[in-house]
Amino acid sequence: MSLEKQLFIESNQKIIKEWQKKHPDTTDVHHTRMNDLESVLQIIDNVGNPTNFKEDLIIKAAHIMGATSWVQPFVGGNKRTGILVAATFLNENGYSIDISKEDEVYLREVLYRIQDNRSELDSSIIGELILYISKRISKL
């Protein structure tokens, strides 16, 4: 159930490529601040509930989204990267998450609030993400 740096990096590269295809007039570059990515992984490693597999996955997925948005380890695409890595993480552990187009607006708003609070990773917002994910995952 461990996360690898490479999953984050490759996910971000994919997101930046897709952005550039859709917006050829803009320049978006991929760059990873490795120390910040290490911080994200440390945050994720320090959370969860090892006595309840599903709950552990949900908590970690919420922190993947939240910590990536808060720490900003990439030059661009941090929120999208957090969402993609969380979905991949859940999938690799036997669960899928259903994020509708309507939900994307809400989810991005929540992640912007995390990003805007620079002093700490807001646990109440993480709680919103945990609730959001718990209502939208299902066993594969």
Three-state SS across the chain? CCCCHHHHHHHHHHHHHHHHHHCCCCCCCCCECHHHHHHHHHHHHCCCCCCCHHHHHHHHHHHHHHHHHHHCCECCCHHHHHHHHHHHHHHHCCEEECCCHHHHHHHHHHHHHHHHCCCCCCHHHHHHHHHHHHHHEEEC
Strand partners, 139: 95
pLDDT of 121 over the 90 cut: yes
pTM comes to 0.93
What pLDDT, in 10s, does the model give residues 9-56?
Answer: 999 999 999 988 988 887 777 899 999 999 999 999 999 999 999 999
User: What pLDDT is stored for residue 24 in this prediction?
Assistant: 86
Amino acid (1-letter code) at residue 108: R
Domains of the chain, earliest start first: 5-139 (1.20.120.1870)
CA 93 to the chain's CA centroid? 15
Euclidean distance between CA atoms 140 and 135, whole angstroms: 15
Which residues does 137 contact at the CB level (< 8 Å), separation at least 6?
A: 57, 58, 90, 95, 96, 97, 98
Q: How confident is the model at residue 2 (pLDDT cuts 50, 70, 90)?
A: low
User: What pLDDT is stored for residue 90 in this prediction?
Assistant: 97
What pLDDT, in 10s, does the model give residues 66-85?
Answer: 999 999 999 999 999 999 99
User: What pLDDT is stored for residue 1 in this prediction?
Assistant: 56
- For the CA atoms of 10, 102, 76, 9, what is the dihedral angle to 10 degrees? -10
What pLDDT, in 10s, does the model give residues 80-108?
Answer: 999 999 999 999 999 999 999 888 889 99
